[in-house]
Amino acid sequence: MPDSALVDSILVLPFGDFPEAVSYFVAGKVEERFGRAAHVLEPVALPEETFVPARSQYSSTLLLRYILARIPKTESSVIGLTDVDLCTPVLAFVFGQAQLGGRAAVVSTHRLHQEYYGLPHNDAVLLERLGKEVVHELGHTCGMVHCQERRCVMYFSNSIREVDAKQDTFCPPCARLASATL
Amino acid sequence: MRSKPRILIVDDELIIRESLTDWLMESGYEAQAVEDGQKAVEQVKQAEWDLLLVDLKMQGMNGIEVMQRVKQINKDLPVVIITGYPTVDTAVQAMKEGAYDYIVKPFNPEEIDLVIRNVVAHQKLVKENVYLRQELKRRYQFRDIVGKSRKMQELLVLLKTVAKSNSTVLIQGESGTGKELIARAIHDTSPRHKGPFVAVSCAALPETLLESELFGHVKGAFTGAVSARKGKFELADTGTLFLDEVGDTSPKTQAGLLRVLEEREFTRIGGSEATKVDVRVISATNKDLEQLVSRGQFRDDLLYRLNVVTITVPPLRERPEDIPLLAEHFLTKYSIENKKDIESFAAEALDLLMRYEWPGNVRELENVVERAVVVAMTSVIAPAELPDIVTGESAPVKRAAPEAEGHELPLREVEKRHIMRVLHAVSWNVKEAATKLGIDRTTLYNRLKKHGIQRPKP
């Protein structure tokens, strides 16, 4: 990199042993929602410096910084994928984080699994939730902020119930904003 | 309110500032962060904010101190204290000092989101409230004159028109209706507002002193006139002279007044030279001057000079819809004066104010509210904080009082209540009350004793 074929596309960067099939699912969802080519990159090891011992979680803020440092400045957006539990210095946990109007975003499946809530494993539920969070975080990289419409993918989900309640699509005003930005 | 609520973050840790700013901006807020209390104070002075998120533990000023400082600048600005080291003591202290909320880092996303939404909704209500109060003031207040009743609205329209002119004005109305306030409002909004406003109470002085007060005197004009002295007409030159209780002037003084009004000049007592003055005269009376003219107690030519424009101020009992507005106006005034944070009247207290007849008019209402503010123990004025005469404990002078509708009162009781009402209206000035009742002071004292009426404790 930089590879000219990747410019203007969206890059999917899996961390650690994040399942390859899930990375490709994400790429497909991104292409469907943003109308841009998506490329799955080679997985990279989760950087240890992003671990926060006091909280036994990983810092999504530091992970974003790592992604930005690793991916050269192109017009591409990058979505990192991990299954570790993410937090920020101020929030106890996050499903994901993004640079508002920037290039990088990251999403964790840790709290999207049914098992996290004591329920049996369910791939369909996991992928549905992951698709919503990926579109949400990439929406932020397009400069979009949280939407008040509960069904809109840009609605801020504080809990898994709210993730499940929203759709993986933009409400009409957000859709207009997204198409103007993309 | 602006479309995006503005949030100021105060935290000495860079990573917290960045992280919180990013999250708030993602959430659609306008966020800015500063690293210490001094910078926060500067920001609050310079710009308008909807919420302050302040870290408790910081170098220099701590979060509580920052909150105290910004509350001195804007007491309505909500402050949420954030801390990574929660203790019950600090939480209690933060709330006692006026924090809107206290939240612990790292935040549960649901909690911080809810707190911010609540603050923003609360701020919206506060701002709407301020706007509505200003609107109320704009529509129903002219200077210090308050009233939304049709009679007062008509009066305010007339006042604004009269203020622009230079005409002589006669203000008629019962005691305590605010005649001097109206005279001042006319002066303050007239082209003469840069000149002096001089008030004289014609009833307060005996005839000779009043003449000297109005026209001044030369040295040696009378015993005790050891030096020359300017009168109120001279002092009011280029401004406005307010003659209160003009109906109480003697024929001689009336003649002197007529001369000034006709010729715009007067002579000091004991002097021989006429002095020219440029004075607008506004007079006031609680008497029926037409009636005094017909009895020969007031000069008709003077009346015609004085009443070029007549303003009649309605008594408070004829405009009960103004009572809540006036009560609130005085509540705000005396809360500020007494440095108390009193917000409103309890519904029962307001109901009592509405039902009382107010024989002493607005002045009496003002006194009652001032007293209530002084004695109030909470932020809401309760019925217990109103004087007995208003609550009906001592003399039920009320509109539609049950006994007035259904029963005839014994003469003795009628007398007692009438005396109480007059005394209250004149703030227990026995001499004034006796004059109003048409009896001498000794008789009044005897009646007080007979009815067991005692001056209420302040």
CATH value at residue A127: 3.40.390.10
Establish if A67 belongs to a structural domain.
yes
Establish if A169 belongs to a structural domain.
no
Q: Above 90 in pLDDT, residue B44?
A: yes
What is the tally of structural domains in chain A? 1
For residues B431 and B415, state if they share a domain.
yes
Reported as a pLDDT band with limits 50, 70 and 90, residue A182 is low
For residues B154 and B267, state if they share a domain.
yes
For residues B112 and B175, state if they share a domain.
no
Other beta carbons less than 10 A from residue B445's beta carbon: 12
Establish if B327 belongs to a structural domain.
yes
Establish if B1 belongs to a structural domain.
no
B408 touches chain A (CB under 8 A): no
What is the tally of structural domains in chain B? 4
For residues B301 and B392, state if they share a domain.
no
- Neighbour order of strands in the sheet with A86-87: A51-52, A57-59, A86-87
Alpha-carbon distance B211 to B118, whole Å? 66
Q: Above 60 in pLDDT, residue B289?
A: yes
Touching A: B residues 9-68, CB under 8 Å? 13, 15-16, 18-20, 22-23, 25-28
Establish if B402 belongs to a structural domain.
no
pLDDT of residue A42: 94
Other beta carbons less than 10 A from residue B429's beta carbon: 12
Q: What is the CATH number of the domain that holds B54?
A: 3.40.50.2300
pLDDT of residue B409: 62
Looking at CA atoms only, how far is residue B104 from chain A in angstroms?
9
Which is more confidently placed, B267 or B304? Answer: B304
Looking at CA atoms only, how far is residue A34 from chain B in angstroms?
19
The 10s digit of each residue's pLDDT in B326-373 is 999 899 889 888 888 888 999 999 999 998 999 999 999 999 999 999
Reported as a pLDDT band with limits 50, 70 and 90, residue B302 is very high
Q: Collect all residues of chain B within an 8 Å Cβ-Cβ radius of residue A68.
A: none
Q: Are B368 and B350 in contact (CB under 8 A)?
A: no
Name the average pLDDT for chain A: 90
**E strands within B11-124?**
30-34, 51-55, 79-83, 101-104
Q: SS3 string of chain A?
A: CCCCCCCCCEEEEEECCCCHHHHHHHHHHHHHHHCCCEEECCCECCCHHHEECCCCEEEHHHHHHHHHHHCCCCCCEEEEEECCCEECCCECCECEEECCCCCEEEEECCCCCHHHHCCCCCHHHHHHHHHHHHHHHHHHHCCCCCECCCCCCCECCCCHHHHHHCCCCCCHHHHHHHHHHC
How far apart, in Å, do the first and last CA atoms of chain A sit? 23
Establish if B219 belongs to a structural domain.
yes
Q: Above 70 in pLDDT, residue B238?
A: yes
Q: Up-side HSE of residue B293: CA atoms within 13 Å toward CB?
A: 11
Establish if A165 belongs to a structural domain.
no
The 10s digit of each residue's pLDDT in A64-88 is 999 999 887 766 789 999 999 999 9
The 10s digit of each residue's pLDDT in B3-12 is 688 999 999 9
Task: Given the residues A133, A137, A149, A162, select the one marked as catalytic.
Answer: A137
The 10s digit of each residue's pLDDT in B95-143 is 988 899 999 888 887 888 889 989 988 888 888 887 777 777 667 777 7
For residues B249 and B293, state if they share a domain.
yes
Q: Collect all residues of chain A within an 8 Å Cβ-Cβ radius of residue B5.
A: none
Alpha-carbon distance A146 to B28, whole Å? 6
Q: Last residue of some domain: B83, B117, B137?
A: B137
Establish if A68 belongs to a structural domain.
yes
Among positive and negative, which fits the CA dihedral A134, A135, A141, A145?
Answer: negative
For residues B163 and B240, state if they share a domain.
yes
Q: Above 60 in pLDDT, residue B437?
A: yes
Q: Last residue of some domain: B92, B111, B137?
A: B137
Question: Omega of the bond prior to A2 within 30 degrees of 0, cis?
Answer: yes
- The residue type of B206 is P
Establish if A177 belongs to a structural domain.
no
For residues B337 and B356, state if they share a domain.
yes
Domain holding A72, by residue range, is: 10-145
For residues B74 and B216, state if they share a domain.
no
Establish if A63 belongs to a structural domain.
yes
Q: Above 50 in pLDDT, residue A41?
A: yes
Domain holding B326, by residue range, is: 315-397
Q: Collect all residues of chain B within an 8 Å Cβ-Cβ radius of residue A55.
A: 106
- Inter-chain CB proximity A90 and B107 less than 8 Å: yes
- The residue type of B168 is T
For residues B101 and B37, state if they share a domain.
yes
Q: Above 60 in pLDDT, residue A61?
A: yes
The 10s digit of each residue's pLDDT in B370-405 is 999 999 888 899 999 998 888 876 654 455 443 444
Establish if A5 belongs to a structural domain.
no
Alpha-carbon distance A125 to A122, whole Å? 6
pLDDT of residue B30: 92
pLDDT of residue A4: 45
Q: Are B433 and B444 in contact (CB under 8 A)?
A: yes
DSSP H helical segments within B264-382, as ranges?
Answer: 289-294, 300-306, 323-337, 347-355, 361-375
For residues B247 and B336, state if they share a domain.
no
Q: Collect all residues of chain B within an 8 Å Cβ-Cβ radius of residue A159.
A: 110
Q: Last residue of some domain: B314, B329, B353?
A: B314
For residues B334 and B271, state if they share a domain.
no
Looking at residues A50-58, what average pLDDT do you find? Answer: 94
For residues B341 and B441, state if they share a domain.
no
Establish if A127 belongs to a structural domain.
yes
